[in-house]
Structure 1
């Protein structure tokens, strides 16, 4: 007879811990799975926003005041003359020749193995990289003076393209933030639906519990804790799934970062770490609001 008594004690303990039967009413699979998917989307949106912002700053800081001068291969011997003319201009801060090795390094992320398969034999133009005193200087007069001193030299400013790329990066960042807001809204809706489903399945138990003197704070708190834990757990799984996806995407974005490999340390670890507590808070607050609103309708 000891075994039945032990089973009865275990049931009473479970009832004391979960008098509303929320473990059965609120599935520990469906809601966390949905939250995990939304957390994955949120992580991708956050990473996209951060990456677009970083690229915009990189382009603006690195190329806005940069100008390149190209000399045709047959004029490469006049490199020293072009450098002397450019360095004598007060608008030019620095003028440095770009080596052939660096030219190949810059082209390799875009051309890949084709660069080593035969393009190395092709003559490359001689390139000079300039840094102007500030990005507001009009490069047209510089190009005229340079062409007069070194015929065939062409000066190309990147300001217009940098402005267009910065606008594109800003648009991508705006879309990523809009997606993040949409994901948050869907998360609130999913949690609200799950809470209402839990209330509907345990309606009689809730009403009895309420009639016995349980306050709105007690009942709503039990729902909120359960749903908050489920949401946080689902977000943790989604953040873990986002790590390899973000690592793969960062390698694809390497050409836009100057061909530099993006390491694990550059991933948005802080954003990923914040996803579970934020999801748990959204679940807790949504459940609190939904349950209290329903309880106010009880007599």
Structure 2
């Protein structure tokens, strides 16, 4: 009979779980944790994107600068030939003067007073362990050239980006652990509040699956709702951060609400957060209630 009562329509609440499991408290805490989880997911994805971009830029980790007259007096072709013979250099090409002027415009203005030097971009076969030594060899092969060896900074930026990615993933695992703890504590509080009713129904024949299922359904609903709320709150925050990070990814930041980089957000991961939170709440409630029920005589 007790089992039949527990299986009555959804509107019934024989265990009084609507009062035992507070919707505002549990959903609010989970919403805050979902917001943090969304930030951690976006942070890990952003760090991975930066690492990929910087790693790709490591292939062009050096530049060779020649005087402005090098293009006219034949030194540029000789320099390109000498660089092509070096095994470490995969490709060498002169930088377009218009692009160079655009890069220097913030410092030199629209019309530089001095002629711009000739800059050769090197695409290396791999990032050298000692960029300074390679720069010395290039300077010896191309007389009069100034070599910028910024590969060491690329390597440091890669290490930084990968460290940030690892920290973001660790933060995500920490948030998940805290969420499990919060749900378990809330369920235990609900059990304590309805202990007599649960024990009575259990003695009358209600199965562990029925009782744990009621708690799990209530917890999944509250945790899922909190996860959805936290995810929705995270979306505009992440869009703002993505807009701030746009220059680092080689794009211009947008202006206004419509100009935010909405397409760059990790939409699949964000969409998965609420159902994953609900599943986590359901599993935690099931495990917590069943563990308590096993202790009953």
TM-score, normalised by the number of residues in structure 2: 0.83
1:249 aligned counterpart, secondary structure: helix
**Which residue does the alignment assign to 2:220?**
228
Secondary structure of residue in 1 paired with 2:69: helix
- Deviations 1:92-124 (Å, cap 9, x if unpaired)? 44333334543455467xxxxxx38x7445545
Q: CA deviation at 1:65?
A: 3.9
Tell me, which stretches of 5 or more residues in structure 1 are unaligned?
Answer: 1-12, 109-114
Deviation (angstroms), 1:292: 1.0
2:62 to 58, 67, 82: 67
The change in CA–CA distance for 1:275 and 1:207 in structure 2 (over 3 A counts) is: same
Choose from 289, 294, 297 the match for 2:295.
Answer: 297
Instruction: Describe the SS at the equivalent of 2:68.
Output: helix
1:86–1:95 Cα contact (<8 Å) kept:
no
1:220 and 1:69, CA in 2 relative to 1: closer, same or farther beyond 3 A? same
2:13 to 18, 21, 45: 18
The CA deviation string for residues 167-219 of structure 1, in whole angstroms up to 9 with x for no partner, is 11111111111111110111011101110111111122212211211011110
Residue 138 of structure 2 corresponds to residue 142 of structure 1: yes
The structure carrying a bigger helix percent of its residues is 1
**Is residue 54 from structure 1 mapped to residue 49 from structure 2 by the alignment?**
yes
Distance in 2, matches of 1:179 and 1:259, equals 28
Which residue of structure 1 aligns with residue 272 of structure 2?
274
Match of 1:5 in 2: none
Q: Per-residue displacement from partner, 1:208-266 (whole Å, max 9, x unpaired)?
A: 21121101111001000110111111111111111111111111112221244583222
Change over 3 Å in CA distance of 1:85–1:132 after alignment to 2: farther
Is it true that 1:164 corresponds to 2:160 in the alignment?
Answer: no
User: What pairs up with 1:73-222 in 2 under 5 angstroms?
Assistant: 75-79=67-71, 81-89=74-82, 90-91=85-86, 92-103=89-100, 105-106=102-103, 115=106, 119-122=109-112, 123=114, 125-136=117-128, 138-146=134-142, 148=143, 151=144, 153-222=145-214
Which stretches of structure 1, 4 residues or more, deviate above 6 A after TM superposition?
13-16
Tell me by how many angstroms 1:133 deviates: 4.2
Contact 1:83 1:95 in 2 (8 A): no
Please tell me the root mean square deviation across aligned C-alpha atoms, in Å: 2.4
The answer for unaligned runs of 5 or more in structure 2 is 1-7, 254-259
Q: Structure 2: how far apart are the matches of 1:254 and 1:83?
A: 35
Q: 1:203 to 1:96 in 2, by over 3 A?
A: same
Hey, what does 1:250 align to over in structure 2?
A: 242
> How many corresponding residue pairs?
273
> Which residue of structure 1 lines up, in the alignment, with residue 5 of structure 2?
none
With normalisation by structure 1, the TM-score equals 0.82
